């Protein structure tokens, strides 16, 4: 399909679908979602020339994982976002099956430049991938510069998701990869220019750094300094559940250690989010010195195509923007401070759970101090349960109707829950653990008393959150 043909199809979908999508009671009020079609990985998250730019994987022609290009929004405050012209569409031979995930940088001349994976699939079932460049054309779009990196020897066609940065001396890139013998790795490249790269080698992955057998593919790597250490965030695929750990189909987690420009020495792998849906996060360092993160509140291949938003012509959303920080040698997350501007009038309650009268949570910020053991219903299809040392988030599976749960350790500290019309983000112990989930409670869900446990008491602060839609 040519670019003009693609754009005509997108215009038709937008004209026909935006009002339908807006009528969905599960449409988020303040989280980012695509106007129509499928959204998945956050891409190219960067602050550039005084504006935050967030790109995202987008199929504007439907809710399937096809026709992947890059949507584009910008903001000055991480709250009020503006649609920009579509950044990338898969119109060239080297990206025939999708402009896959990647990152954005300011190049040597200060121009916004995208680095992404061009995905190609062949009729015999094989595939290849190219790492490609596109540069701001000064007119709101991006000029494609084509591939700058082919597949490295010894790796399958699954090499993707370049995260690029400049360390003050040279450009560096990490790539997710799958070896020919099905081992997931993170590859490191370096170069003096964005169009000339040299492979340094694998810096993490299955069978490396003491991890043992640890998945057949590592997607969406992101390597960066935070405080006096380096962090590698990545999404390993192919890890079996281990008790209360690794319960999702694919994992998302972090490794902390030291990076010398060539080698990454790290400790254990830790899950970044203990909930149901959180994947493919990407970070940036902003002008305030904060390490900020967006994640995709979705998960590939796990009941996603049965979500009840699909009849309304859209699927998936981003997480709230989060800030990463260390607390007692542990990676923590918190909602960015700017989100407080959406808070409305405060309502408080303190007492035993059984006496809690209930309150609206279609769009709300909840701060909870909990004691004893107890539970709270989030609508009728999700439940937050606390027990000494443990937090559980239960929900009713929208496909099977069965109840399922995820859990996290709890030190007894405050729990913040951010609610939107079809999402929950729980920050446990002020962000030491997070549990994120999509859920579909219908219109006007209420937070109400549950009956799990004994002696449960709550101290609740509740603020409604104002709508903050993309313009």
Provide the token pair at 293: 């993160």
pLDDT tens for residues 138-177? 998 999 999 999 999 999 999 999 999 999 999 999 999 9
In sequence order, which residues have a C-beta less than 8 Å from that of residue 263 and are 6 or more positions away?
Answer: 203
* Alpha carbons 53 and 142: distance in angstroms, whole number: 14
Alpha helices in 130-202 (DSSP H): none
Q: Is 168 helix (H, G, I), strand (E, B) or coil?
A: coil
Asked about 41 being catalytic, the answer comes back as yes
- Whose structure tokens read 């995709």? 296
pTM for this prediction:
0.97
Mean pLDDT of 325-351: 97
Q: Is 304 helix (H, G, I), strand (E, B) or coil?
A: helix
- 471 pLDDT higher than 90: no
* Alpha carbons 102 and 185: distance in angstroms, whole number: 17
Q: Is 243 helix (H, G, I), strand (E, B) or coil?
A: coil
Q: What is the pLDDT of residue 302?
A: 81
Task: Check if the beta carbon of residue 392 is closer than 8 Å to that of residue 406.
Answer: yes
Q: What is the pLDDT of residue 301?
A: 85
Q: Measuring CA to CA, how many Å separate 246 from each of 231, 271, 329?
A: 20, 8, 22
Mean pLDDT of 105-124: 96
Task: Check if the beta carbon of residue 196 is closer than 8 Å to that of residue 212.
Answer: no
Mean pLDDT of 19-48: 97
- Whose structure tokens read 């701001």? 136
In Å, how far from its chain's centre is CA 51? 20
* Alpha carbons 277 and 378: distance in angstroms, whole number: 17
* Alpha carbons 39 and 114: distance in angstroms, whole number: 18
User: What domains lie within the chain, and their CATH numbers?
Assistant: 3-335 (2.115.10.20), 337-464 (2.60.120.560)
CB atoms within 10 A of CB 19: 9
pLDDT tens for residues 286-296? 999 999 999 99
- 113 pLDDT higher than 80: yes
Provide the token pair at 231: 């962090």
Please identify which of the residues 41, 161, 273, 429 carries the catalytic annotation: 41
Q: What DSSP state is assigned to residue 36?
A: S
CB atoms within 10 A of CB 186: 26
* Alpha carbons 303 and 88: distance in angstroms, whole number: 28
């Amino acid at each position: 399909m040519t670019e003009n043909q693609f754009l005509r199809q997108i215009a038709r979908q937008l004209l026909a679908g935006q009002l339908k999508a807006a009528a969905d009671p599960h449409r988020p009020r303040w989280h980012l979602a695509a106007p129509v079609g499928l959204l998945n990985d956050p891409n190219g998250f960067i602050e550039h020339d005084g504006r935050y730019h967030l790109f995202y994987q987008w199929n504007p022609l439907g809710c399937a994982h096809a026709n992947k290009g890059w949507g584009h929004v910008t903001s000055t405050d991480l709250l009020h976002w503006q649609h920009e012209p579509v950044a990338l569409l898969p119109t060239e031979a080297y990206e025939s099956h999708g402009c896959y995930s990647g990152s954005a940088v300011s190049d040597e001349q200060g121009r916004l430049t995208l680095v992404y994976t061009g995905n190609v699939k062949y009729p015999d079932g094989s595939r290849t991938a190219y790492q490609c460049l596109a540069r701001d054309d000064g007119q709101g779009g991006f000029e494609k510069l084509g591939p700058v990196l082919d597949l490295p020897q010894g790796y399958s066609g699954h090499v993707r998701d370049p995260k690029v940065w400049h360390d003050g001396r040279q450009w560096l890139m990490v790539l997710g990869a799958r070896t020919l013998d099905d081992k997931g790795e993170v590859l490191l490249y370096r170069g003096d220019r964005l169009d000339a790269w040299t492979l340094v080698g694998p810096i993490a992955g299955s069978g490396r750094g003491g991890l043992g057998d640890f998945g057949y593919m590592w997607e969406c790597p992101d390597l960066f300094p935070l405080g006096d250490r380096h962090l590698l965030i990545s999404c390993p695929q192919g890890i079996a559940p281990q008790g209360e750990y690794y319960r999702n189909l694919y994992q998302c987690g972090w490794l902390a250690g030291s990076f010398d420009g060539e080698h990454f020495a790290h400790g254990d792998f830790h899950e970044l989010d203990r909930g149901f849906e959180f994947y493919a996060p990407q970070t940036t360092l902003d002008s305030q010195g904060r390490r900020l993160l967006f994640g995709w509140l979705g998960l590939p291949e796990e009941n996603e195509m049965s979500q009840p938003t699909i009849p309304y012509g859209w699927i998936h959303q981003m997480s709230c923007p989060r800030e990463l920080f260390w607390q007692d040698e542990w990676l923590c997350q918190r909602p960015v401070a700017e989100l407080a501007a959406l808070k409305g009038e405060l309502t408080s309650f303190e007492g035993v759970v059984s006496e809690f009268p209930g309150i609206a949570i279609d769009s709300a910020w909840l701060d909870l101090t909990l004691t004893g053991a107890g539970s709270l219903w989030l609508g009728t299809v999700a439940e937050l349960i606390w027990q000494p040392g443990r937090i559980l988030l239960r929900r009713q599976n929208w496909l099977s109707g069965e109840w399922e749960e995820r859990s996290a350790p709890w030190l007894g500290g405050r729990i913040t829950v951010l609610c939107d019309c079809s999402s929950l983000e729980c920050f446990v112990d002020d962000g030491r653990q997070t549990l994120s989930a999509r859920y579909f409670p219908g219109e006007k869900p209420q937070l109400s008393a549950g009956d799990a446990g004994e002696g449960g008491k709550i101290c609740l602060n509740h603020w409604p959150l104002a709508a903050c839609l993309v313009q």
